[in-house]
Structure 1
Amino acid sequence: MTHPSPLQTLIGLAQDDVDAAAQRLGRVQRERNDVETQLDALITYRDEYHTRFTDSARQGMAAGSVRNFQAFIDTLDSAIEQQRRLLEQATARVEAAKPEWQRCKQKLGSFEVLQSRQDEVAARKEARREQRDADEHAARILRMRAPQHL
């Protein structure tokens, strides 16, 4: 069983870091999408509720109902503002996770370039060794065929 080279070990560790950073980025993106979906739902509900109230108010409504409506709309507006703040925070987490993922990817890429260069050097050495062996073999055959002078 061959042992991985130190560079291969670093590549494996860097790949693990990339995978972990990608998972973190994916998680915060999903969380942001969930927050945005909730915000959209609150806004839609507020708009629908306001439309229904406006339609009802045109036909006459008691003052208590108007106060209740306004209180409920104020509560929805407060929830919408809170959700917007949560969306800003979630967006900030996504933006903070992106550079970390990119840094990990770049580090992995650097190690892979080094591995590629190392592989090229090893391939050239092997090609030179094989050429030298072939040359020596050819020279040996020529010496064996050459008439020997005594």
Structure 2
Amino acid sequence: MNRSKRMEPVARLADTRQQTAARQLGDWQKVLDDRLARLDELSGYRDEYAQRFESSTSVPLNGVGVRDYRLFLSRLNQAIDQQMKLVQAARAELERSRGQWVEARGRTEAINRVVERFEREERYEVDRREQAEQDDRNVRRKPDF
């Protein structure tokens, strides 16, 4: 078995690992997008709630109403802070995953270059042998004078 054929399982494994890394990268991108969307929802909700509270100044709130508003706003801010942490964690995982994909892609490309070099060398060797055989046949056909 020639070298290029022996390298095929290694190349397939590297390609599989690269595809797995690419899928994980895509998964983390989706997680980040989802978390960013949730953060936007929470921020929008907080802004809308604050705007509604300020526009309702025509109806005075009692102490309990103000306390409830502040408590609710505080909880919304805590949820936003927590979501920001989740976004940061997803970004970190996305970057780690991107690094793994780049590394896997580099290994795959390197292995593929080796396989291609082996194939070129094998084709060259086959061509050289065929040419030598052709030359030998031509020499045998020549009549001796």
Common topology (TM > 0.5) = yes
Cα distance per residue 1:3-41 (max 9 Å; x no partner): x82211100010111111111111111111111110011
Equivalent residue number for residue 83 of structure 2: 83
Bigger RCO of structures 1 and 2 (CA < 8 A, at least 6 apart): 2
Does residue 89 of structure 2 align to residue 66 of structure 1?
A: no
Equivalent residue number for residue 49 of structure 2: 49
What letter is aligned with 1:60? V
Alignment: residue pair count: 141
Equivalent residue number for residue 116 of structure 2: 116
CA distance in 2, matches of 1:78, 1:61: 26
CA distance in 2, matches of 1:44, 1:141: 90
Matches within 5 A, 1:1-150: 5-57=5-57, 59-63=58-62, 64-143=64-143, 146-147=144-145
Give the TM-score normalised by the residue count of structure 2.
0.91
What letter is aligned with 2:115? Q
CA distance in 2, matches of 1:42, 1:62: 24
CA distance in 1, matches of 2:68, 2:42: 18
Percent sequence identity over aligned pairs: 28
Moved over 3 A (4+): none
CA distance in 2, matches of 1:46, 1:137: 89
Unaligned stretches of 5+ residues in structure 2: none
CA distance in 1, matches of 2:6, 2:120: 17
CA distance in 2, matches of 1:10, 1:53: 64
Give the TM-score normalised by the residue count of structure 1.
0.88
SS at match of 1:61: coil
Let me know the Cα RMSD of the aligned residues: 1.3
Question: CA offset at residue 60 of structure 1?
Answer: 2.9
CA distance in 2, matches of 1:129, 1:5: 20
What letter is aligned with 2:90? A
SS at match of 1:5: helix
Unaligned stretches of 5+ residues in structure 1: none
CA distance in 2, matches of 1:53, 1:122: 78
Higher Rg: 1
